[in-house]
Amino acid sequence: MTRIRGYKYRAYPNKKQREFFEKTFGCCRFIYNHYLEAKQQVWNECHDTLSYPEMCKDLSRVLKKENAWLKEADSIALQQSLRHLDRAYDNFFRGRGGYPKFKSKRSAQSYRTMNVNCNIRIDGDRIVLPKAGIVKIVNTRDFEGRILSATVTMTASGRYYISLQVEEEYEVMPNRGGEIGIDAGLKVLYTDSDSCSVINPKALAKHEKRIRRLQRSLSRKQKGSGNREKARRKLAIEHEKVANIRSDFQHKISYRLANENQVVCIEDLDVKGMMSDHRLAKAISDASWSGFYRKLEYKMADHGGVLIRVPKTYPSSQRCSCCGKINHKVRDLSVRRWTCPDCRAEHDRDINAAKNILEKGLEMLAS
């Protein structure tokens, strides 16, 4: 079987390569913002739009003559910037995203280039990129396949990463054939139908005190000063540390679930809607259910398993997993344990919900 998989590496470019990357980031950002403004102007004047071929023609014929400094960047990266703009509009009109926004130089920067005539290749702890030359990387993962593209990213803390999109052959890994239902939570990351719970690491909560102190320090610095840039980078490093702790934990847990189970049933939560509750928004963001489910979904596919999403309207917490009786009194989240009024079975709220999610998921899978 063939799949497209991403491989991400930490990069250590030299001073000249960093300057080239920063120039390319700026050129791609300029192209994106320039044509976003042009598309808005065309729409306001004649209710029409600029297609990708029209923007490419304008880029090659006019813009490079007026702005010769664009030639210093990777030309393929500039074209990819136009493709990203075109895709952003397409996603907006199809309801898959918001209206495209202008890019800022104050956040993480990236550009994408394509592999043409093997101009992107990796050899040990070195990778060759168009115009950048040989860049040093930490090669933690080997692969056998054809490189399609490379994305160079500079995080807010100033760290560089190179992500490769690779087309490769693969074999489905085995799993142990289990079936499990999962009920997501905040105090615990999830409770499963086997009455096991996984503690939420709460990475943000544990680092919140230091983040708050760094934010206060940043707010006292004069805008445009070197000390403010140092304070901004310290804060960015702390936020990246939190994100890395959370991501590492989710990768380990999702791999374990995919390795042990053939079927995993989850509740299709409306995370965006739940984030509108200001009392729970920070805790929900710290739990990062969406990121966990994303990792679990592709790992289940790698192991030949199935991830079933049970509709959010299904009353998993209110239904008795023994007799099916719906108890509306359990809507109150403070009720953690309850007794079924019909069969008198005693339930833990989360375990009962996980069992109901598993039952509903298997029913959906059978139908």
Ranges under pLDDT 70 in the chain: none
Name, in order, each residue with C-beta under 8 angstroms of 39's C-beta and a sequence gap of 6 or more.
Answer: 49, 50, 85, 89
pLDDT in tens, 221-245: 999 899 999 999 999 999 999 999 9
Q: Report the Cα 256 to chain-centroid distance in Å.
A: 20
Q: Which of 183, 192, 302, 359 is catalytic?
A: 183
CB-based contact 287:206 (threshold 8 Å)? no
Beta strands in the chain (DSSP E): 2-12, 109-114, 121-123, 126-129, 133-138, 146-154, 160-169, 178-184, 188-192, 197-199, 261-267, 306-310, 337-339, 346-348
| Count of the separate structural domains present in the chain | 2
**Is residue 221 assigned to a domain?**
no
pLDDT in tens, 284-303: 999 999 999 999 999 999 99
Residue 350 is among the residues annotated as catalytic for this protein: yes
Residue 342 is among the residues annotated as catalytic for this protein: no
C-alpha radius of gyration, the chain, whole number: 25
pLDDT in tens, 58-74: 888 777 788 888 989 99
The pLDDT, as a whole number, for residue 112 is: 96
Do 193 and 311 lie in one domain? The reply is: yes
The pLDDT, as a whole number, for residue 63 is: 77
**Is residue 217 assigned to a domain?**
no
Q: Which of 317, 304, 321 is nearest to 350 (CA)?
A: 317
Do 140 and 183 lie in one domain? The reply is: no
**Final residue in a domain of this structure, among 169, 196, 220:** 169
Q: Mean pLDDT in the chain? A: 92
DSSP-based three-state secondary structure for 97: coil
Angstrom distances, CA of residue 287 to CA of 128, 292, 334: 38, 9, 19
Tokens for 116? 């043409």
Residue 267 is among the residues annotated as catalytic for this protein: yes
The pLDDT, as a whole number, for residue 260 is: 95
Q: What is the CATH number of the domain that holds 304?
A: 3.30.420
Do 244 and 161 lie in one domain? The reply is: no
Do 164 and 182 lie in one domain? The reply is: no
Q: What are phi and psi of 321, to 5 degrees?
A: -75, -10
- Total length of the chain: 367
Q: Which of 179, 267, 302, 359 is catalytic?
A: 267
| Host domain of residue 55 | 2-169
